Amino acid sequence: MSRISLYRSLVIAASATVALGLAGCADANKKHETMRQEQYNHWNMTRVGVMYQLAEQQYAVGEYDKCRETLAGAMALKAQHAPLYTLAAKVELENGSLDLAAGYLKSSVQIDPANPEPYYLLGVVYQRWQKSDVAHDYYQQAWDRKPNEPLYLLAVTEMKITLGRIDEAQKLLEDKMVYFEQTAALRVALARVYVLKGDYDAAAKYYREATVLLPDDQSIRRSYAETLFFSGHYAQALPILEDLHKRSDVLDKESTTVMLGQTYLNLRRPQDARNILQEVCRDHPNNIEAYLTLGKACIQTNDLQLAISAGRRILKIDQENVQALIIVALVQQKQKNWADAQITLVKAERIAPTDSTVLCMLGISAQQLGQKDTAAACFSKAVEANPKDTWAQELLATTKPVTRADEQAP
């Protein structure tokens, strides 16, 4: 080999060695940069996790402003951490900032579309915006992702009811009743569906089952007593209502006590009804339902002065309350003040011209005042207004002249 050829070979070899060395350095630098980025991302996620835990604690104790600051710092690290955005949405929901909450929740869904909670919370947002159809879809998506969560099922059911799809709601709850056999909330929801349908017996059945699962839940016990009351099972409702009346932790104590008084009255215990309702009227002087029931009870106990006082108290609040006018007129008739009763009943007739009770009482006053034609006309109108009113039919029969055929009838 010549000296020139040898020289060229050495140059080429040296160039190749340099090139290989440079390529090796580039690969090493790239790997090193990747490792540094991974370490940075890992450190970032660690910091985000710590900040998220702190934010959770702040949210739990109601320190929403501090929680918002912590979350903002964590978000500034630009980590793809879906729970951050979900928690941020919860903070905004607490403050009523629905637009901000919706934005955070949609970001959370983009990061982790499998998590059901953001969909559920989006349903809450749209429900507050009164967009029930959209809320229903989000609740459904949450439940699709976690079908063993009764909260999501109940949310779907609630929206179906709101949208007027009551039969669908009923079927959905009934189909899942065995799967969620230990969940009282499903039975309460199904009971409410039956209440909406006016089937109080079926509602009472499911409320009874719910009370077995949650015997200390006073709101469920009250609802159970209420459905028993409206289905006419007063004797079964009574012990529950009496127990609730004694308790101090019962919500809506006022209406519960009125229902207890009405139950006593329906069980022909007017004295107990009067005593319990006087408590309500004393503490709540504008409760019309309590005064009405008190007036009816006092008529039965022959405490006419208290009865007429109850009726007149209602009329000060509501001048056109027909039931109050009936109570006043009934007391006047019992006191044989037929002319006063007629005046009272004429007022009632103007307000409720097809009320058969008013028409019958008006006819009785007319009879006692010797106005036979007026009485007959009142009884006839009562029968026309309510053909099934046997009292009106009997009174009308007394105004018909007796014929020879009637006298000869066996």
Per residue in 110-152, pLDDT (tens digit) is 999 999 999 999 999 999 999 999 999 999 999 999 999 999 9
Q: CB neighbours (10 Å) of residue 253?
A: 17
- DSSP per residue, 225-265: HHHHHHTT-HHHHHHHHHHHHH-SS-TTHHHHHHHHHHHHH
Lowest-pLDDT range of 48-62, 173-187, 344-358: 48-62
> What is the pTM assigned to this prediction?
0.77
Q: What is the pLDDT of residue 11?
A: 52
Q: From CA 343, how far away is CA 360, in angstroms rounded?
A: 14
Q: Calculate mean pLDDT across residues 191-195.
A: 95
What's the CATH code, domain 341-401? 1.25.40.10
Distinct helix (H) and strand (E) counts, the chain: 22, 0
Mean pLDDT to the nearest integer, 32-53: 65
Is residue 12 pLDDT above 70, yes or no? no
Does the pLDDT value for residue 2 go beyond 60? Answer: no
Q: How far apart are CA 162 and CA 155, in angstroms?
A: 11
Mean residue pLDDT across the chain: 88
pLDDT tens-digit profile of 332-353? Answer: 999 999 999 999 999 999 999 9
Would the pLDDT of 192 be above 70?
yes
* Res. 203: pLDDT tops 90: yes
Q: For residue 254, give Cα distances in angstroms to 128, 224, 277, 283.
A: 29, 17, 10, 9
Structural contact between residues 306 and 294, judged by C-beta atoms closer than 8 angstroms: yes
Picking from 61-75, 153-167, 207-221, 285-299, which range would have the lowest pLDDT averaged per residue?
61-75
